[in-house]
Amino acid sequence: MFIYKPTNMSKLENLLVTKRLIIEELDLASIDSIKKFSSRIISKYTRLDFLINNAGLIVGKYEKTVDGFEMTMGVNHLGHFLLTELLLPLLKRSAPSRIIIVSSVVHYAARLNKPDLQLPEHEYSEVKAYNQSKLANVMHAVELSERLQNSGVTVVSVHPGVVKTEFGRDIKCTGMKVLITLTKPFYIGPWKGAQTTLYTVLSDKIVTGGYYSNCAFKEASSKVKNEKERKWLWDKSCELLGIQNRGS
C-alpha cells in the first residue's frame, strides 16, 4: 500500500504499472483526513499485517496544521499516533502483526517541550521541532509496546540512516544548510536507507519496544526509559487529539 497526498501524485504515476500497488489518500496534517483514511482501510480490508509510520517533515518556518498543531509535531508524531490508534483493532485481529515507527538518531539530542509539546512561534527552530518529534516517535513505540504486551502486535522504532532524498529542502537554518552540504557526499541511497525498516518487517529476531539502526538493535536515549515521561507524552497526545486513553 502506498499512501500519498494529491500534490505528490505526478511522482507516483510510474509506480502504477503493477496491480499490487494500492493508492490511498492520507494527509497526516489533518485529523479529519486520518479518520476518513482509517475508516476506508477498516471497511476494505480484513487484515493489516504491517503498519509503517514513515511520513516525516521538517519545515523552515513556523506553520500550523488545520487543527492548530505546530506542523512538525502534528505530522511526525500526533498524526501517526492517531493513525495507529484507529488502525489498532485491525492490527490486533491480524496478529501476529507489526508497527514500525520511523524515527531518527537525532532523538538523542531532543527533549519534550512542556506543557503541550508545541514550540511557540517566537521560539521556533526547525531543528528543535524535528528532534522533538523524533524523540516522541521512539517514546511512542516503547510505550505502545508496553500497552500491547501479549496482544501479538510487535512495535519498534528505527533510524533508517541519512538518506539522499528531498527531505530538508525547506530548511532555513544556515548552520544546518552548511552541515547538509558538507555531509551530503556521505549520505546513503534510498535502497540502503530502506534496509533497517525492511529488517524490522521481515526479521524473526526483533524485540518489541526496540530501537533499530543499521539492521541491529541499539540503545535508545535514556529519556526513552523514563516511564513517567512516556506516560506524560501518551496522555498529552490523547488530550490534544481528543481521544480516549487507549492503546491496549
Return the pLDDT at 166: 52
Tens of pLDDT, residue by residue over 220-231, are: 999 999 999 999
Question: Crossing angle of helices 80-93/31-44, nearest 10°?
Answer: 10
What pLDDT does 153 receive? 98
Under the banding of pLDDT at 50, 70 and 90, the label for residue 28 is very high
> With bands split at pLDDT 50, 70 and 90, how would you rate the model's confidence at 22?
confident
pLDDT of 176 higher than 80: no
- Mean pLDDT on 129-139: 96
The whole model's pTM is what?
0.86
Please give the backbone phi and psi of residue 76, each rounded to the nearest 5 degrees, phi first. -70, -35
Residues belonging to the active site: 130
Sequence-distant (6+) residues with CB within 8 A of 129 are: 58, 59, 70, 72, 73, 119
pLDDT given for residue 179 in this prediction: 47
H-only helix segments in 94-204: 126-147, 174-183, 190-193, 195-202
* Over residues 95-109, mean pLDDT: 95
> 10-24, 62-76, 170-184 — which is least confidently predicted?
170-184
Residue 165: DSSP 8-state = S
Residue pLDDT, tens place only, 36-68: 999 999 999 999 999 999 988 888 899 999 999
Task: Tell me the CB-side half-sphere exposure of residue 47, using CA atoms within 13 A.
Answer: 7
Q: Any long-range contacts for 118-126 (C-beta under 8 Å, 24+ apart)?
A: 118/69, 118/70, 118/73, 119/62, 119/70, 119/73, 121/62, 124/61, 124/62, 124/70, 125/173, 126/58, 126/59, 126/60, 126/61, 126/72, 126/171, 126/172, 126/173, 126/176
- Domains for the chain: give ranges and CATH numbers: 28-241 (3.40.50.720)
